[in-house]
Every structure is written in C-alpha cells, then in structure tokens.
C-alpha cells in the first residue's frame, strides 16, 4: 500500500516537472541575473520577487532576496557567512550585500541586451585583514548578453567590473565571460571564466593568477523554482584553500507579487 501511495505521489508531481518554468532550459520563464558568480544583463521583471540561497564549501551560506521594483530596474539585498553549516561558531559577514541593476538596452535581433549595476556581495569566507571576500564582489559593472538559436538556445555573456575591495592592493578593472546552453526544456549548462585581473598578485595570499573557471547545471524543477549544481575554481586558482574544485548548490525561487 505504501508503495502504491508513493507511485501515485510521483504521478501527481510529474506534470509540474514537465511544465516547470524557472530560469533553466528552452522553456525558461525568467532571465539569468547571474551565471554562477558573474552578473549578466538580465533584470528581474517588475512585480516579481526572487529568493535564492548559495551553499558552498567551508560552511558558507548566502541568501538573497531581489525585487523587480520598476520596469528595467531591480534591487536586492543579501547576507550570509562561513561555517554556518557544520560545527563551531558561525562567522557572519560584517555587512549585508546590496545589489541594484538597470537595463539600458533590451536585446534585439542584431544587438545584445546591456545592463549596468552594483553588487557588493562577494563569495566565500571574509578576510578582516584586507576587508575582502575570498571571491571579490563584482562592485560596479556593465554586462552584455546575447541569445542565439543553436540546438535549443545558446546565450553568450560578457562583463566588465570594478570591485571596491581594494585594500589588498589589487584595484584593477576586471573582465568575465560566460555562456548558457540549454539542454532540453528544463535543463541548462552554464559556464564562466573570471580573469581575476583584480586578484592576480602572485605574491598575495589569495590567487595564483590563473583566474576562476566555474561550470554548473541548472534544472527548472517547478514553476519558478530552479536548482543549481556547480563546480567552482576548476583551475585551482585559490591559495587560501588549495585542492580540487569546490562543489556548491544554488536554490532559487521566483514569484509574482503584484
């Protein structure tokens, strides 16, 4: 009887999976505002709210809420810390992160979408000695995104940014590039390369100068709900915790509020 009830539960849940519309796949309902760490030109539509959580190594958990407040403008706030999951005392970030983005130009057949914004939320542990995150926040940025039909859809992204985390002496402009490739109706492969031009001092404690290469999968599980699985730092750039690539989970939910 229990097995039969479980089968009925799966059958009742299956339609929602087949009709899922999150941010992944050919049937995606919402734009990406970021790939993994890299901001894109996507903006949350007016009247929608997005809630997301990143779960990363070293017990790092970062939660964010974002709202489409006006046409082409969205605003968000985030907070988290390291050692949140596991044993011992959590190490909360000093300040919440804020982000605001503005769509300058919509995408057309011959022109990419262009957005500008600011995001003060970095990733990983926070180092008090240099007032920076392990992965620096984007800071001020400009982003371009263009979508193409290719065995589904292929989106290409580019970002130029300037982080305000400069106490470590690396204060250069930075460049990031990335892509999204749909795999069927509800799954996408995403990848990005952060040149880390503002984090490439080989004499520092942080990066080797290789940049950060990240890849991930996104799966639209249900209406507005997307699950992400990421492999981070495939080039083993970080010095503070050397080793193989990091594994991370991203959970996102988007819903209309008015």
| pLDDT(54) > 80 | yes
Average pLDDT over the chain, rounded to whole? 89
Q: What is the pLDDT of residue 48?
A: 96
Averaged over 174-182, what is the pLDDT?
97
- CB 103, CB 112: distance < 8 Å: no
Please list the alpha-helical segments (H only) found in 92-237.
Answer: none
Greater model confidence, 174 or 1? 174
Q: What is the pLDDT of residue 5?
A: 45
If phi > 0 it is left, if psi is from -120 to 50 it is alpha, else beta; for residue 86 that is left
User: How sure is the predictor about 11, in pLDDT bands with cuts at 50, 70 and 90?
Assistant: very low
Residue pLDDT, tens place only, 99-152: 999 999 999 989 999 999 999 999 999 999 899 999 999 999 999 999 999 999
Averaged over 85-102, what is the pLDDT?
94
Q: What is the pLDDT of residue 203?
A: 66
Cβ within 8 Å of residue 176, ≥6 positions away = 37, 38, 157, 158, 159, 161, 192, 193, 194, 195
Q: What is the pLDDT of residue 239?
A: 67
| pLDDT(165) > 90 | yes
| pLDDT(219) > 50 | yes
CB atoms closer than 10 angstroms to residue 218? 27
Give the C-alpha separation, 219 to 28, whole Å. 10
Q: What angle do CA 134, 76, 63 make, to 5 degrees?
A: 50
Greater model confidence, 242 or 42? 42
Helix (H) or strand (E) holding 118: strand 113-119
> 173-184 burial string, b = 16+ CB within 10 Å, else e?
ebbbebbbbbbe
User: How sure is the predictor about 19, in pLDDT bands with cuts at 50, 70 and 90?
Assistant: very low
> What structural domains and CATH numbers belong to the chain?
2-256 (2.40.160.40)
């Amino acid at each position: 009887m229990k097995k039969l009830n479980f089968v009925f539960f799966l059958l009742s849940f299956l339609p929602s999976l087949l009709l899922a519309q999150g941010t992944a796949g050919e049937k995606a309902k919402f734009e990406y505002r970021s790939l993994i760490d890299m901001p894109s030109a996507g903006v949350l539509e007016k009247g929608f709210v997005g809630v997301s959580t990143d779960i990363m190594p070293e017990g790092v958990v970062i939660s964010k809420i974002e709202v489409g407040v006006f046409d082409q403008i969205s605003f968000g706030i985030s907070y988290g810390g390291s050692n949140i999951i596991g044993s011992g005392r959590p190490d909360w970030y000093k300040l919440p992160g804020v982000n605001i983005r503005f769509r300058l130009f919509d995408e057309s057949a011959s022109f990419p979408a262009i957005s500008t914004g600011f995001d003060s939320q970095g990733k990983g542990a926070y180092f008090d000695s240099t007032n920076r995150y392990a992965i620096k926040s984007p800071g001020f940025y400009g982003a371009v995104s263009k979508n193409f039909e290719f065995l589904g859809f292929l989106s290409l992204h580019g970002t130029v940014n300037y982080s305000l985390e400069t106490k470590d002496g690396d204060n250069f402009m930075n460049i990031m590039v990335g892509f999204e490739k749909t795999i069927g109706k509800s799954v996408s492969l995403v990848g990005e390369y952060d040149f880390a031009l503002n984090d490439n001092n080989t004499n520092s404690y942080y990066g080797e100068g290789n940049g950060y290469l990240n890849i991930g999968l996104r799966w639209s599980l249900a209406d507005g709900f997307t699950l992400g699985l990421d492999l981070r730092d495939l080039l083993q750039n970080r010095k503070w915790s050397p080793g193989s690539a990091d594994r991370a989970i991203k959970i996102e939910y988007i819903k209309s509020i008015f």
